[in-house]
Amino acid sequence: ISKPESAEIFYVSFPLHAEGYQVQMQMGGVPFQPDRDLFPNTCRDYYPIDNQVCFSKGSSRLVLDCHDNALVELGEMNDGLKREQIPDDLSTVYATVYNNVWYCNWPGDENGVMEFAFDLYGSETDTTAHAPEAYPVVSVERK
């Protein structure tokens, strides 16, 4: 990804087309499902993870391994809407690979070419989940 001057946040989008699959992630080594294991009033805009987002339906599994980032959004990009409910369809994963709005995790002046690695693993017992097409999505600062 080459960073344009005006960009504030970079996402890589993974539209997995896995509607109806259960989603599970880990945070601090503890597995959780975003639709049932969160406390009331917990942030539902994005999730810090231990690298993987797992989708399951019966014996079928899809695992997106986000080697280089630990922050994802599910379903739709929301840019801090402070949503109280999670979307019905969580099968699109937005991996945050760069963010110069928050100076705590990324340098505010990162320039040049950046490389990120992702792996997708899956079982072949259910063909309703399609292979994703990953493409970068850019969110620019609103003024």
pLDDT tens readout for residues 58-99:
888 888 999 888 889 998 877 667 777 788 888 899 998 877
Percentage of residues in the chain having pLDDT higher than 70: 71
111 or 75, greater pLDDT: 75
Q: Is residue 88 part of a domain?
A: yes
Considering Cα of 143, then 77, then 133, then 119, what sign does the dihedral take?
A: positive
Tell me if residue 69 falls in helix, strand or coil.
Answer: coil
Q: Is residue 2 part of a domain?
A: no
Q: Is residue 107 part of a domain?
A: yes
Q: Is residue 1 part of a domain?
A: no
- Express each pLDDT in 17-67 by its tens digit: 888 899 999 988 889 998 788 888 888 888 899 989 999 988 888 889 998
Mean of all residue pLDDT scores within the chain: 77
Domain boundaries, position 40: 7-140
Q: Is residue 81 part of a domain?
A: yes
Cut 0.85: pTM above it: no
Report whether pLDDT(128) > 60: no
- Burial profile 50-80: b = 16 or more Cβ within 10 angstroms, e = fewer: ebbbbbbbeebbbbbebeebebbbbbebeee
Q: What's the pLDDT band for 124 if we cut at 50, 70, 90?
A: low
Number of domains in the chain: 1
- Mean pLDDT confidence for 128-141: 47
